[in-house]
Amino acid sequence: MGNTVVDLFAGAGGLSSGFMKAGYEIVAAVEYDKQIADTYKLNHPNTRLFINDIKNIAEQRSLANISADVIIGGPPCQGFSMAGARIRKNFIDDERNYLFRYYYDVIKQIMPKYFVFENVKGITTMENGEILNEIMSLFQDSKLLNGHRYYTYPYLFKTVDMGIPQKRERFIIIGILDKEINWNEVYETAKTNILIKYPSFFDKTTVWDAISNLADISDCDEFVVNPQTNYQKFLASDTGVVYNNNKPKHSELALARIKQIACGKNWTSLKNDNIKSIHSGSYGRLTKEGVSPTITTRFDTPSGGGFIHPTENRTLTPREGARIQSFPDDYKFVGNKTSIYKQIGNAVPPKLAYFIAEMIKVINS
């Protein structure tokens, strides 16, 4: 099978990690943030990493001579929503959409058999769906692609359906060069193939299934632990090593508030407190038997959402967040604390990426 991949907007490597687990080779990746790139390089030492802006990569044709079967990545969509009434004429040329434009340019330069375009759920409703229609029409226009076209298949994936204990939704377009498929057939075949290898892959998974064997462990950056649940076994390393379990520190005021919150409750439980909630789930405490809200870039901050540990008076460690995101235990994050939480919160869950990679195997067979 054709199994070479280029990862654009690689971040800490969530998409790459999932594709690697499925047997793909990540031949090149692009990430402009140096701290985040350090994490990527540490975990993907054999990948040619470009620490640069996608604009420079596209304009200098840095990847044009690299052969790749699949291009993966999600250009941030801040500019998409501002396209407004000019969408039909100038969408691809609007400087605010430059991240998408250069993603598209790189695809035109390499012409992979497949691409995976990842984005937030909101892109489906921007400008009443016109943004999404425009994106897909660009890939379907054979006049722009030397007589070729990509058949595009948009789908909103829910991570809970992948046995990930988190209410995250990611919008994915899989593009296929000059070939149509039956989406449902491919989806179900991929599911069947995965169940042969991992019978518990799609089982409903709780927060406690993910993080229970990290509880009561002293604050440390590296240690060995035994996996206890099927989910923990799926993410465990051969040596049992686990990284990045440093416990967040909180102010006395935040700690006093945290202690008042019962499982499943949030800031509305706080008595005689003038807290100005900046998030509806602020100071929310997770329940053992439930799933987490979407892990964000600020899951160490009590006011940032519902990320208080079910049994301890603190928010989640980076590793607990990474577990809920489905990163392997031996995936090590480097950088300052703010960057590490951002890396984890912004990532595509590797377990979801693995499923998408398995779908492409089915299409390619």
Q: Is 263 a catalytic residue?
A: no
Task: Write out the two tokens for 347.
Answer: 């990532």
Quick one: which of 21, 3, 11, 10 has its CA closest to 350?
21
In the structure encoding, which two tokens stand for residue 237, read together? 């390393």
Helix (H, G, I), strand (E, B) or coil at 173: strand
Beta strands 4-7 and 70-73, pairing class: parallel
Whether 286 and 308 have beta carbons less than 8 Å apart is answered as yes
| Active-site residue, selected from the candidate residues 15, 20, 68, 77 | 77
What lies within 8 Å, CB to CB, of 263 at 6+ separation is 285, 286, 287, 288, 310
Show Cβ contacts of residue 183 under 8 Å, excluding neighbours closer than 6 positions.
Answer: 153, 155
Dihedral angle sign, alpha carbons of residues 167, 171, 176, 182: positive
As a whole number of angstroms, the distance between CA 344 and CA 325 comes to 7
Q: Where are the alpha helices (DSSP H) in the chain?
A: 14-21, 34-43, 54-59, 87-90, 98-110, 130-140, 183-197, 207-211, 230-235, 252-258, 318-325, 337-346, 350-364
Q: Would you please indicate which residues are annotated as catalytic (active-site) residues?
A: 77
